[in-house]
Amino acid sequence: MPELPEVETVCRTLNELIAGKEIDRVSVKLPRIIQRPADPDLFEVQLAGRTFRSVERRGKFLRLLLDGLVLVSHLRMEGRYGLYKQEEPLEPHTHVIFHFTDGTELRYKDVRQFGTMHLFRAGDELASAPLNKLGIEPLDEAFTLEAFKRALGKRSTKIKPLLLNQEVIVGLGNIYVDEALHEAGVHPETEANLLKPAELERLHAAIVRTLSAAVEAGGSSIKSYVNGQGEMGMFQHRLRAYGRTGEPCDQCGSLIEKSVVGGRGTHVCPTCQKLRGKSSTGNKSSDASGTNAVKRRLDGKTGKR
């Protein structure tokens, strides 16, 4: 499952690939991907003749802006976009194709078929599902320490599931929550309303730093991608806690432990992240991982007509 940094990188790459391209027609091969309008034929009709202006991100959703319309796209587990020449053979699991007037095609591939697309009149998308209930953007200037505290409220929920709740803060998934909690020295099962001011401050800073660093890493991986190295997946930058079960903590040398918190595999340093007052349990569960990518297939000859 892509998290904010991966979606941000897909967003930037996609913007580079399709901004300015005019849609000749659209082919929907798997109607269930299209959640709105209810009739996928209408989806095809409404998009014909429109031009992609830019691609933006809201939480883990892509917002593809066209003249007068906005396409809201979520990649879920394995959705990916790629730009192809129209004569290139269609790969399996290609479900939606945007045929451009310049002879290229944006193809949406999704092996698991969990991805979604919603089409709105521009401006309507923010007041309707799926974007209307999303919480604060952690990389916006508006994400101040005060805004973070307000978003958490006085809830007695454990901090990890609260940070994963997209209605509170958007974009954080299992990997970056574990990373931020480790950096802040906060145990994932700490009740949110019991966090001390210093812990809230460290956690706020850790969320911003962790996500920013990952976006940077993604930015640098775009270059190798454009050079034809193939698909990009989750970033290979160094992780502090996530996926490092049994390895020594960088800060104290204790071995990273894995448990389950709120149904999610969770990586904790038992020394740096003490749970006050309680002892935590240690269940095993499998790692989650995801590979979602924008694929560049045109060897640099993309874009401008």
Closer to Zn ion by Cβ: residue 18 or 206: 206
Pairwise CA distance, residues 141 & 208, whole Å: 10
- In whole angstroms, the minimum distance from the beta carbon of 145 to Zn ion comes to 24
Closer to Zn ion by Cβ: residue 74 or 182: 182
Closer to Zn ion by Cβ: residue 165 or 254: 254
- Summarize as ranges the residues that interact with Zn ion (CB under 5 A): 249, 251-252, 254, 269, 271-272
| Catalytic residue ranges | 2-3, 60, 264
Binding residues: 93, 112, 155
- In whole angstroms, the minimum distance from the beta carbon of 62 to Zn ion comes to 36
Amino acid at 264: R
Closer to Zn ion by Cβ: residue 116 or 259: 259
Closer to Zn ion by Cβ: residue 117 or 249: 249
Both tokens of 174, joined, read 């299992």
Q: What is the 3-state secondary structure (H, E, C) of the chain?
A: CCCHHHHHHHHHHHHHHHCCCEEEEEEECCHHHEEECCCHHHHHHHHCCCEEEEEEEECCEEEEEECCEEEEEECCCCCEEEEEECCCCCCCCEEEEEEECCCEEEEEECCCCCCEEEEEECCHHHHCCCCCCCCECCCCCCCCHHHHHHHHCCCCCEHHHHHHCCCCECCCCHHHHHHHHHHHCCCCCCEHHHCCHHHHHHHHHHHHHHHHHHHHHHHHHHHHHHHHHCCCCCCCCCCCCCCCCCCECCCCCCECEEEEECCEEEEECCCCCCCCCCCCCCCCCCCCCCCCCEEECCCCCCCCC
- In whole angstroms, the minimum distance from the beta carbon of 253 to Zn ion comes to 7
Binding residues for DNA: 93, 112, 155
- In whole angstroms, the minimum distance from the beta carbon of 204 to Zn ion comes to 20
- In whole angstroms, the minimum distance from the beta carbon of 244 to Zn ion comes to 11
